[in-house]
Every structure is written in structure tokens, then in C-alpha cells.
Structure 1
Amino acid sequence: MDLEYNMASFIRDLPNIRKQTFKKLTIILAFQKAAMLALHKRASNWLTSTEEVLALGQLQQLDLQLLQRQVEEQKKGKNRSRAQLQVGAQKTQAKEAQVAWQATNQVRRQLRRLGVEARKQERLRKKRVRALTRAGNPIPPEDYDPIPGPKTEPGFERGGFERGVSEREPEPGF
């Protein structure tokens, strides 16, 4: 009996170690433990995703318009003499701030509605899967992937849109 485990012993045992380590179930569980997403994940709800992209596009357009307005005002301001004052400048700034705030609130409300709808669709999907599982019927492929909310979609950055709303809880098992 050899009490010393050296490089030769390791190389001798390497094929057995590989057989025990690289099994299909071991690899699958490693990916699940690492919380990695499926490689071939489909877009689960194209309508919600489309509305989300459009809402974010509108927000970007409003930001662009606001920046363009500011640039034009700066250009106009350079041409005026210092002796001339703009009458009602504070009112103009307040009005622009109000318009920008209203646009932000509109996009925020739209994202909130999208989130509510996505959570509703996810609850219905879970009920369908539970019912099919209990009945012993196969689950259709479109019900495999969970329906993501607007905050879980790629491209959404947490920038304070929804203050006070907690993160989504992880999906419990069926």
C-alpha cells in the first residue's frame, strides 16, 4: 500500500477522476448553481417587449429634444448683448421643467403598467404549468421560460424609475 500520493499517482488516477467529474448531470447542476441563463432562451412575450422598447425610445427622444433646446438657447444667448435681459426667463425654465417632468412621469407610468401586465402573465403561465403537471400532460415549449418584467429585461438600467419597489423574488419551483 502506497502512503505517498505523488504526481505519478495523480496521473494514474486522472482518467477515473475525469469519469467521475464530467457527467451530464454534474455539468447541468454546475450551470444551475451558477445561476446562468439558458443558452437558447426565446423572447417570451413579444408584445410587452415591443411596448417596452417603444417607451424607452420615447424617453430617449424627449431627452434628445431637451438637450437640443438647451444647445439652441445657449447659441442664442451668446449673440445677445449683456445689457439686454430676457423677460420671463424663469417662467420659461419652469415651463420646460414641468414638460420634462410630465414626460418622465408618463414613461414611468407606462413602465409600471408593463410590469403589472408582465407579472399577471407570469402568474397565468405558472397556473397553466401547474395544471398541466398535475394532469400529467406535457408542457408546451412556450411555457418553459418565465415571462420577464420590464426591469428584468436586458437594457433596462436602474435609474430611479420605480422608487420603493423591491426586487422580484426568485421563481419558486412548480
Structure 2
Amino acid sequence: MKNKISQEEQEQLISILKVRFEKNLSRHTDIDWTKVEAKLIANPEKLWSLLQMEKTEGEPDVVAYDKNTDEYIFFDCVAESPKARRSLCYDRKALDSRKEHKPKNSAVDMAAEMGIELLAEEQYRQLQELGNFDTKTSSWISTPEDVRKLGGAVFCDFRYGRVFLYHNGAESYYAARGFRGCLKI
């Protein structure tokens, strides 16, 4: 059945997440792993999404806790844009507009299939406060509707000690550009 995770996969994934959590405590000061784990166990559909993030080499990790919504926030924390999510155009409209040399998917569609969202610009900048990410790659981010209506899409990377926000045609795709996701549990 779709979006289901076996007990064995659940245990393995939680173990991986716990090790990553403990190895990177600076990403989530004042967050208690036992509370995160309890949320994970109580939300198997979200665990399935985290498993998809892990399988596509995103290395998801807890980066924040929202007290207002009682949600833990996971971002892809792999050093470079996730390898299994590269060479994608921005969205379905862009993919459909390509006449030839179509990529295998779009970032927006793949994120939706995984049950996650593309990082917004503010979230991408928050991620960069936790380390240096995308120093050799770039990542599509959630594009404002007014930019998308004009045929563009935006992406970010980290160069020269700062985050750069760029634009490109939404139908473009590159071997060094993927996307990073966000999941709230």
C-alpha cells in the first residue's frame, strides 16, 4: 500500500534520525529527542515522507520546533543538493512545455509525491545559519507566483560566505541543481 512504512523500516529510520540528531546537536538546541521520536511514532505517514527524503539522499534532520503548532520541522541537511533529486525542472507546467530532452520529473511534483514542500527563501536562509550547504550545487526553492507567471523560477546556493538567490527559466534543469525539502511533524 502506498505511503506505508513497515515496522522494520520505521525502526531503521528512527535509528538513523537519532544518530544524525545526536551528531548535529547545534542544529536543534533545546529540542528533546524523546519528544521528537514520540511524534515520529505517532505519525507514520510523516515517517514515510522522511524515508523518501532519506532514500533520495537528503539526510533530513530536525532544525526547529514551532511552539504555536506543536510541530518539529525537518529540512534536508545534506551538504550538497540531494543527488537523487537533481536534473529536474521546476514544476509540471515547465516539464510539459519542454519539447525535447525532458528531465525525468519536476522539483514541485517530486516533492508532492514525497509528501514534502520545497524550502522557501526564508527557510533556505535559516538552513544556511546551521552550516554551509550548496557550496558546489544549487537548490530550487519555492517560487513566488508572480515570478512563476512570467515563466521564471528561483533557486539558491551558498558562495563567497553568503546566500545567493537567482532566477532561471522554470523549464531549465542542471546536473548540479536539485531541491531541498521541508517536513513538519
Whether these two folds match at TM > 0.5 is: no
* TM tier, smaller: under 0.3
Higher relative helix content: 1
Structure of larger gyration radius: 1
Higher relative strand content: 2
Name which structure has the greater RCO, CA cutoff 8 Å, separation 6+: 1
